[in-house]
């Protein structure tokens, strides 16, 4: 088989997979998972036919996939892939660019620079900010928080790059009681142990209680959230950030999915004041429905991010907007390209319509669940619905039964020390009929319980 034939075969298999995505069980059945044993082979001593490798991948792998690219996957706020973004990604595989800087790939550098401008425009963040296209909100959060600490230390006269942390003035980090686990991970990687985090009390809905905000000073990083992962709620940016600024603190906003509310007029007010922060992280692969893995580290002081992430061999030649100097990666895929393609294909109106439709569908879902006997636990502000059944045992059993049905999938969480269920509406494929089908299924399950 020639390279061209192999690629045609891959394209045909991908097309067939996508054509069947609506009918596919949302979580793979046990037989398909058992079929993954086909991959349990010895490392071949000699080469094998590429066509055979692709056939095995499709034959045993495809049936065992989770249909997260389909319309009724409601887990983890992760969306499907928009056609334009997925197609751009596919062409990019043929390019195989190492998109670290203009020297490696003028095309990637130019398109990612355009994507960066559009991201700042659609999220209405300060236009001079640097945008690094990294792998995940986790990695981009690490990049931003590292830049934050380095900048605060520089203001205190400490050269972090040369002197490191030993003997450095202490930096406090204030996080919400409901901080996302990946921010805690990033801080742990940075050497900020969990015992040293200052936890800001929340208001029972995942927002920091402004009345109980811990003291802030010019050695403090304040981590806020645009979209708490269970409730979808937003911290009170317009109140909290001016207080942080007055104290000389650095504010970082984790907006992995929720920052996209700023692109939708109907809900943008929830995230008002977010533009006052110093740095932000958001994902493409969640609400914008781009393929994994694509996220953004955004920093108001472009030099602060470019300094912290610098990987130029010679400092004096540092190109501040090279992506290798804005992300953790050095050799990298041009992760901004599918984000560019998503924004270009949807346009400003299309992004707003996608976000607003998901918010409406979440409201419809919550109303349906409430009417069939579930307790809805959150103020449904955006696309997240947090709920439980009458007893913890029933809550747990209903999640398992829903997953086993193959019709829908969503995960369990813990809310106020008890099991709860969380559904996220974030796929461009999800229709109102899919929402009604989910409600119908869950109504049947709670009726049985
Ligand atoms: C998903 C999520 C993250 C982590 O994002 P990744 O891209 O998966 O690393 C961080 N914060 C919140 C609120 C999230 O929902």
Categorize the per-residue pLDDT at 319 as very low, low, confident or very high, splitting at 50, 70 and 90.
confident
Cross-strand pairs, 422:
386, 411
For the CA of 138, the nearest atom of ligand 1: 9
Question: For residue range 81-133, what is the model confidence (pLDDT) as tens digits?
Answer: 999 999 999 999 999 999 999 999 999 999 999 999 999 999 999 999 999 99
Q: Report whether 84 contacts 435 (CB < 8 A).
A: no
Kindly state if the Cβ of 235 falls inside 6 Å of ligand 1.
no
Q: Report whether 121 contacts 370 (CB < 8 A).
A: no
pLDDT given at position 312 = 84
Rounded to the nearest whole angstrom, what is the distance from the C-alpha of residue 138 to the centroid of ligand 1?
6
Kindly state if the Cβ of 290 falls inside 6 Å of ligand 1.
no
String of b and e for 439-449 (b: at least 16 CB within 10 Å)?
A: bebbbebbeee
Rounded to the nearest whole angstrom, what is the distance from the C-alpha of residue 256 to the centroid of ligand 1?
5
* Top mutation candidate among 206, 223, 229 for ligand 1, by most atoms within 8 Å of CB: 229
Kindly state if the Cβ of 259 falls inside 6 Å of ligand 1.
no
Q: Is the dihedral of CA 351, 354, 357, 358 positive or negative?
A: negative
Instruction: State what percent of residues in the chain have pLDDT above 70.
Output: 98
Taking 80 as the threshold, does the pLDDT of residue 313 lie above it?
A: no
Taking 60 as the threshold, does the pLDDT of residue 213 lie above it?
A: yes
pLDDT given at position 1 = 87
Kindly state if the Cβ of 137 falls inside 6 Å of ligand 1.
yes
Tell me if the pTM is above 0.95: yes
**Structure tokens belonging to residue 116:** 């960066």
Categorize the per-residue pLDDT at 403 as very low, low, confident or very high, splitting at 50, 70 and 90.
very high
Question: For residue range 218-252, what is the model confidence (pLDDT) as tens digits?
Answer: 999 999 999 999 999 999 999 999 999 999 999 99
Taking 80 as the threshold, does the pLDDT of residue 317 lie above it?
A: no
For the CA of 227, the nearest atom of ligand 1: 13
> Cα separation of 152 and 219, whole Å?
6
Say which residues have a Cβ less than 8 Å from residue 338's Cβ, sequence separation at least 6.
Answer: 85, 86, 88, 89, 92, 284, 290, 291, 294
For the CA of 225, the nearest atom of ligand 1: 13
* Average pLDDT value for residue range 415-434: 97
> Cα separation of 197 and 8, whole Å?
52
* Average pLDDT value for residue range 3-27: 97
Mean pLDDT of the chain: 96
* Complete domains list, the chain, with CATH: 87-343 (3.40.640.10), 350-448 (3.90.1150.10)
Q: Report whether 227 contacts 257 (CB < 8 A).
A: yes
pLDDT given at position 316 = 45
pLDDT given at position 320 = 80
């Amino acid at each position: 088989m020639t390279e061209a034939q192999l690629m045609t075969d891959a394209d045909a298999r991908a097309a067939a997979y996508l054509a069947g995505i609506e009918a596919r069980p949302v979580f793979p059945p046990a037989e398909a998972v058992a079929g993954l044993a086909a991959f349990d082979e010895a490392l071949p001593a000699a080469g094998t036919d590429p066509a055979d490798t692709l056939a095995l991948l499709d034959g045993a792998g495809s049936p065992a996939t989770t249909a997260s690219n389909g319309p009724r996957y409601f887990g983890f706020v992760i969306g499907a892939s928009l056609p334009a973004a997925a197609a751009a990604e596919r062409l990019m595989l043929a390019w195989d660019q190492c998109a670290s800087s203009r020297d490696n790939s003028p095309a990637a550098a130019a398109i990612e620079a355009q994507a960066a401008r559009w991201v700042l425009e659609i999220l209405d963040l300060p236009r001079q900010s640097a945008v690094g296209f990294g792998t995940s909100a986790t990695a981009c959060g690490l990049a931003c928080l590292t830049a934050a600490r380095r900048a605060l230390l520089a203001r205190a006269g400490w050269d972090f790059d040369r002197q490191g942390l030993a003997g450095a003035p202490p930096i406090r980090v204030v996080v919400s009681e409901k901080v996302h686990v990946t921010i805690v991970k990033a801080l742990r990687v940075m050497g900020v142990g969990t015992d040293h985090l200052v936890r800001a009390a929340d208001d029972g809905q995942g927002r920091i209680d402004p009345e109980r905000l811990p003291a802030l000073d010019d050695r403090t990083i304040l981590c806020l959230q645009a979209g708490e992962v269970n409730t979808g709620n937003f911290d009170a940016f317009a109140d909290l950030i001016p207080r942080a600024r007055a104290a000389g603190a650095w504010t970082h906003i984790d907006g992995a999915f929720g920052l996209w509310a700023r692109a939708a007029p109907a809900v943008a007010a929830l995230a008002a004041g977010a533009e006052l922060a110093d740095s932000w992280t958001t994902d493409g692969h969640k609400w914008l429905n781009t393929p994994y893995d694509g996220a953004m580290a955004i920093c108001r002081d472009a030099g602060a991010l470019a300094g912290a992430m610098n990987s130029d061999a010679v400092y004096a030649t540092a190109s501040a907007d090279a992506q290798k100097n804005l992300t953790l990666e050095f050799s990298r895929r041009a992760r901004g390209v599918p984000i560019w393609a998503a924004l270009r294909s949807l346009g400003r109106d299309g992004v707003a319509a996608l976000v607003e439709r998901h918010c409406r569908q979440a409201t419809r879902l919550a109303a349906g669940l409430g009417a069939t006997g579930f307790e809805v636990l959150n103020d449904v502000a955006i696309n997240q619905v947090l709920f439980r059944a009458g007893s913890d045992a029933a809550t747990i059993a209903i999640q398992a039964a829903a997953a086993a049905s193959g019709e829908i999938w969503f995960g369990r969480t813990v809310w106020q020390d008890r099991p709860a269920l969380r559904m996220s509406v974030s796929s461009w494929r999800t229709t109102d009929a899919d929402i009604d089908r989910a409600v119908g299924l869950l109504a049947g399950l709670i009726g049985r319980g």
